[in-house]
A = this chain, B = another copy of it.
Amino acid sequence: MQLCVLSMSPAIAKTSEKDIVAAARRMIRALGVDALTLRDVAEAVGIRAPSLYKRFDSKSALLQAVKADVLTRFETALRQAGTGQPPALAFTRMAAAYREFGTRRPEIYRLIHRPELKAEGLEAERASLVPAFEIITALVGPAHALAAARCTTSFLHGFVSMEIDGNFQQGGSTDEAFTFSVYVILQGLVNSASA
């Protein structure tokens, strides 16, 4: 009986959700999300495009899974940068880690800020900025923490976006502008907290 069942065994899985997400992430990093096709992702893991629908409801669902995966790595990078430092140093280190994550993987950074990819990413998106929020709370106290975190993450997101999009066209040192800006915001936050 069992032998019979085994001989009638269904098709053996050639891949997994994890494999597919990893392949898609690599392809996005290399080519950008706009150039990603399901036929290519499928080929990279040794199956055909229709089979992807056994694991993900749609292309959007796959991209959401990639985004959630990346956001976990992002959160880890931010947390490692700030732990065990005094607040002001943690702040500048976290800022530098944020920028490095984005500039090293511009296409991945763009992916995690695609507004249409929200469902799975919403909680991961919030969680990814928790390390930054904790550092800023230590810096300015709980009363201004939320506004200060929004100030800081807005600046970091805007700077990295403009840098990877090539929107700093006026010459000058981008590194210098970043260092100056982080200093300006840090000073402004500390002053506002004591005011």
Contacts and interface: CB of A to CB of B under 8 A. Distances in A.
Interface of A: 34, 110, 113, 115-116, 118, 122, 125-126, 144, 146-148, 150-151, 153-159, 161-162, 164-170, 172, 174, 176-177, 180-181, 183-189, 191-192
Nearest to A193: B184
Given A157-B162, A187-B188, A177 B110 contact: no
Contact of A181 (B115, B150, B183, B187): B150
A167 B117 CA distance: 12
Contacts of A191: 184, 187-188, 191
Nearest to A158: B158
B153 A155 contact: no
Contacts of A181: 147, 150-151, 154
A interface, by DSSP: helix, strand, loop or mixed?
A: helix
Given A116-B34, A166-B118, A192-B187, A159 B148 contact: no
B113 A165 contact: yes
Contacts of A183: 188, 192
26 contacts: A34-B116, A113-B161, A118-B166, A125-B169, A144-B180, A146-B177, A147-B172, A147-B181, A148-B184, A150-B159, A151-B155, A154-B158, A154-B159, A154-B181, A155-B185, A157-B161, A158-B161, A183-B188, A184-B191, A184-B192, A185-B185, A187-B188, A187-B192, A188-B188, A188-B189, A191-B191
A8 B119 CA distance: 59
B125 A167 contact: yes
B125 A146 contact: no
Top 10 nearest A-B pairs by Cβ distance? A158-B158, A188-B188, A151-B181, A184-B188, A154-B158, A154-B159, A157-B158, A147-B180, A150-B177, A115-B165
